[in-house]
Amino acid sequence: MSDALPLLARSQAAVWHPCTQMKQHETLPLVAIERGEGPWLIDADGRRLLDGISSWWVNLFGHCNPRINLALRRQMETLEHVMLAGFTHEPVVELSERLAALTGHRLGHAFYASDGASATEIALKMSMHSWRNRGRPQKNRFLCLAGSYHGETVGALAVTDVPIFRDAYAPLIRTAMTVPCPDARQAAEGETAVDVARRAANALEACLAKHHAEIAAFIVEPLVQGAAGMIMYDPEYLRLARALCDRYEVHLIADEIAVGCGRTGSFFAWEQVAGPATQSGGGWPDFICLSKGISGGYLPLSLVLSSQEIYDCFYADSSARAFLHSHSYTGNPLACAAALAALDIFVEDKVIDGNRARAALLGQLTQAQFGAHPRVEHLRQRGMILAFDVRDASPGLANRFFSAALDHGVLLRPIGSTVYFMPPYVVTPEELNHLVRGAAAALDRALA
C-alpha cells in the first residue's frame, strides 16, 4: 500500500533524517539518490550531481569504486563478521599494522568502533582511565578548543563547543573547559597566522598552568575545525600545544576523523606538525582518532590509535585495570576490508601526490571565480579542503545556496555563511571546473 506513495513522502513519514528540522521538508524537498558513479550521484530522474562534499566528508575514491567493491565482494564470501573479543582475523590485524606503520609505529595500538563520536569517547575514556591506573584519578577533566566538534553522543558533546548541537542537552553533560581557537581569520593588520597561533598557545598555557592537575587530555581537530565552519589555523599552534601538554602532563588527542586520510594534503594532518612519520623524534599526539574516510566512505568504521605508554597503563593481571569498552561490531571484517582497499589505492595511485595538483587547480579556479567577489571573504585552503565566507549573509543563505547548487548539478552544503568544497580524490580538472562554476551560479542566485 505504502509503495503507492512517492519515495519522498514515504521517507518523510518513516525516516527521521539527521541534522534536520523535518518540517523544513514541507518546502525543501528531499533528494532521492538512485545510484553513485565516481564523484557523481544520480537521482531518480537521472539528474547528475557532483558530490562536492564527499557525502559528509567520508567518500575518498568515488561512489561504487570498482576496487573497493571487489575487495568487499571477496571478503563477503569469506567472513562477514566475528566478535573481536577473544577472536581475531586477517583484515583487522593487517589494517592495524598498516596504520601503525603510517605513524612510524609511534601509535601502534588500534582500538575499533563504528562511528566518530564513539572514537572520541574511547580516547577520552582511555586517557582518563590511564591516569586513574597510574594513581592520578583526579585527572578526569578535558580541555577543547572554542568551536570544537568531536561528535554528538552525550560524552562527545562534552568536548563539542557548537551551541546548536549542545545547548538542549546541557543538563546531561559535564562540559569540558575551552581555550581560544587559533583561527587564522583573527589576524589583525600586519599579523600572520603564526602570530595568532602563538597568542592562542599563550592562553592554552595559562589554562594548563592553572588546571593541569585535574585535566586528563586536550582534544583538538588538527589544522581545520570542520563543523565550526572550516576554521583553519597554523600548525605552529599544534607544535606549541604538544610541548605544553608534555610540560604539564596532559594527553593530547588528535581528532583526525575529518582531517585524516589525506584530506589536508598529508595522510595524517599531524605530519604537517611534526614531519613525516618515518623521521625519528617526538612531537606526535598520544591518541589519533580516525573515521569518516578510513573505509573509503563505504561502511561505518572508526578507531583510536594510541601510544605504547598509554597501552602499558592497562596491561596488568587485573580486569579492572583493562580497557573494557566494547561495541558489537568492533573491527568488522567488511569495514576493515574496505579500509585496506582504500589504503591500497593511496599507494598504487600515489594519491597524496596527485591531490597536490587537484588542490592547486581547485585553488586557482576558486581564486579566479571568487577572489574579487564583493561578497566573498577569507578564501582559505588546506589540501583538499577549500572554504570562503559570504559577507553580510542573510538568514537562510545555506538552504538557498544548497537548492540553487542542485539545479546546477552540484552537491554543496554551506555551514551557515561558510561555503566549502571537499571533493573526492578522483575528481578530474573538468569536474572541478563544473564544481566551481556551479558554486558561482548558486552564490549569485542565493544572494539575489
Ligand X SMILES: *Cc1c(COP(=O)(O)O)cnc(C)c1O
Binding ligand X (rule: CB under 6 A), the pick from 99, 208, 216, 258 is: 258
Stretch that binds ligand X, among 2-10, 27-35, 145-153, 266-274 (CB under 6 A): 145-153
Considering only residues 110 to 129 of the shown chain, the ones binding ligand X according to CB under 6 A are 115-117, 120
Judged by CB under 6 A, the number of residues near ligand X is 15
Q: How far is 361 from 423, CA to CA, in rounded Å?
A: 12
User: What sign has the CA pseudo-torsion 154, 204, 162, 398?
Assistant: negative
* Per-residue contact string for residues 183-222; x = within reach of ligand X by CB under 6 A: --------------------------------------x-
Q: How far is 161 from 150, CA to CA, in rounded Å?
A: 9
Nearer CB in complex with ligand X: 141/150: 150
Residue found by looking up cell 538512485 in the block:
34
Residue found by looking up cell 597503563 in the block:
313
Nearer CB in complex with ligand X: 255/389: 255
Binding ligand X (rule: CB under 6 A), the pick from 92, 204, 257, 359 is: 257
Amino acid at 68: I
In angstroms, what is the minimal distance from the CB of 52 to ligand X? 17
Q: Which among 160, 397, 373, 137 is positioned nearest to 258, based on CA atoms?
A: 160
Q: Which among 366, 384, 362, 385 is positioned nearest to 376, based on CA atoms?
A: 366
Nearer CB in complex with ligand X: 155/438: 155
In angstroms, what is the minimal distance from the CB of 255 to ligand X? 5
Q: Is 285 in the site for ligand X (CB under 6 A)?
A: no
Q: Which among 269, 349, 308 is positioned nearest to 65, based on CA atoms?
A: 349
In angstroms, what is the minimal distance from the CB of 126 to ligand X? 16
Q: How far is 47 from 83, CA to CA, in rounded Å?
A: 41
In angstroms, what is the minimal distance from the CB of 188 to ligand X? 28
The helix/strand/coil state of 318 is coil
Considering only residues 392 to 421 of the shown chain, the ones binding ligand X according to CB under 6 A are none
In angstroms, what is the minimal distance from the CB of 163 to ligand X? 17
Q: Which among 368, 446, 373, 384 is positioned nearest to 420, based on CA atoms?
A: 384
In angstroms, what is the minimal distance from the CB of 292 to ligand X? 6
In angstroms, what is the minimal distance from the CB of 17 to ligand X? 14
Q: How far is 261 from 342, CA to CA, in rounded Å?
A: 9
Nearer CB in complex with ligand X: 136/327: 327
The angle at the Cα of 104, spanning 99 to 108, to the nearest 5 degrees, equals 55
* Count of alpha carbons within 13 angstroms of residue 50, beta-carbon side: 24
Binding ligand X (rule: CB under 6 A), the pick from 96, 291, 355, 417 is: 291
Considering only residues 226 to 255 of the shown chain, the ones binding ligand X according to CB under 6 A are 226-227, 255
- What is the contact surface with ligand X in residues (CB under 6 A)? 115-117, 120, 149-151, 221, 226-227, 255, 257-258, 291-292
